[in-house]
């Protein structure tokens, strides 16, 4: 039997994300090699005119399925632990591999809004975080850049009525149900965001995702990624953080970035009042 051709892809566009990439890409590339996959960085804008935001550049994967049998997409703001098992082996063929955030996010709102805008579907899948998603060639149509409604979803005026409505993630979730694809829930360990509370246990997960404006704790996201990448670079510190969450809680707070955040919050607000 011919071996499947695998790839792991990420989007990196803009100075801020290239700074993150200096810490996250080495770990993602190492993981790709471990999985026997090519590592691909999408760093050019092909979806700008159609959709605007760089996050929609993941629709470039549509063309990559002409070359690859299975592609895992991993956001550039994700740190992959060196001991992470292969999601290619954990996800059954023919199913989308992703991590449910059904009980951690505004999934109910997103399901409602997508169906108001894009039409009703039989919603059979869990609502997943699209920061990490594994697709087979059979799922190629999910990321067709000419998908009906994509431009309207990305740029429509309806967004003015919904605070913090996410961009491509709700669209991809809706489309997975529209096309009748099945989702295999890989669990929070493969996409650990701050929405899952008790961030002090984040090192018990394989993929740590620093999504949103504040990542996993207060302070600059890039600083958090840099410091946590340093922890993952030490097996001893990683194991210590996993076994003793109170130790990790203490280290996160005895930290200049965190203290600076507290000072700015306390005195910055006073100066504005």
pLDDT tens across the length of the chain (273 residues): 678 999 999 999 999 999 999 999 999 999 999 999 999 999 999 999 999 999 999 999 999 999 999 999 999 999 999 999 999 999 999 999 999 998 877 888 999 999 999 999 999 999 999 999 999 999 999 999 999 999 999 998 888 888 777 899 999 999 999 999 999 999 999 999 987 778 899 999 999 999 876 777 767 889 899 999 999 999 999 999 999 999 999 998 887 777 777 777 667 655 444
- Domains of the chain, by residue range, sit at 1-273
pLDDT at 185: 97
**What pLDDT score does 61 carry?**
97
pLDDT value, residue 269: 55
Query: How many CB atoms lie under 10 A from the CB of residue 119?
Result: 11
Taking a C-beta distance cutoff of 8 angstroms, is the pair 176, 127 a contact?
no
Write down the pLDDT at residue 273. Answer: 45
Residue 167 structure tokens: 């961009």
Distances in whole angstroms, Cα of residue 163 to Cα of each of 55, 107, 160, 185, 263: 18, 14, 7, 27, 28
Whole-structure pTM value: 0.92
Superfamily (CATH H level) for 1-273 = Spore Coat Polysaccharide Biosynthesis Protein SpsA; Chain A (3.90.550.10)
User: What are the backbone dihedrals phi and psi of residue 165, each rounded to the nearest 5 degrees, phi first?
Assistant: -70, 125
Query: In whole angstroms, what is the distance from residue 216 CA to residue 211 CA?
Result: 8
Q: What is the pLDDT of residue 268?
A: 64
Q: In what order do the strands lie in the sheet with 37-42?
A: 37-42, 6-11, 70-74, 128-136, 96-100, 183-185
How far, in Å, CA of 164 to CA of 167, rounded? 9
């Amino acid at each position: 039997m011919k071996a499947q051709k695998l790839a792991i892809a990420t989007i990196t566009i803009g100075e801020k994300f290239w700074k993150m990439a200096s810490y996250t890409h080495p770990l993602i590339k190492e993981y790709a090699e471990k999985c026997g996959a090519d590592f691909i960085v999408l760093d050019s804008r092909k979806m700008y005119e159609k959709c605007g935001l760089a996050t929609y550049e993941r629709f470039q994967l549509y063309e990559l399925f002409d070359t690859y049998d299975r592609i895992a997409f991993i956001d550039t703001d994700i740190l992959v632990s060196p001991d992470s098992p292969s999601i290619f082996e954990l996800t059954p063929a023919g199913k989308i591999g992703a991590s449910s955030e059904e009980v951690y996010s505004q999934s109910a709102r997103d399901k409602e809004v997508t169906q108001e805008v894009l039409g009703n579907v039989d919603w059979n899948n869990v609502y997943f975080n699209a920061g990490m998603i594994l697709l087979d060639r059979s799922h190629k149509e999910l990321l067709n850049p000419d998908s009906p409604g994509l431009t309207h979803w990305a740029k429509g005026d309806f967004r003015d009525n919904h605070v913090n409505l996410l961009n491509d993630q709700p669209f991809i979730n809706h489309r997975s149900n529209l096309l009748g694809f099945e989702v295999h829930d890989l669990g929070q360990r493969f996409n650990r965001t701050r929405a899952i509370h008790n961030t002090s246990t984040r090192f018990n997960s394989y993929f740590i995702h620093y999504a949103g404006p504040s990542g996993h704790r207060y302070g600059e996201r890039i600083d958090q990624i840099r410091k946590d990448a340093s922890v993952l670079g030490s097996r001893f510190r990683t194991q210590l953080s996993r076994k003793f969450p109170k130790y990790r809680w203490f280290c996160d707070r005895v930290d200049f970035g965190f203290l600076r955040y507290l000072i700015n919050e306390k005195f910055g607000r006073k100066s504005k009042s």
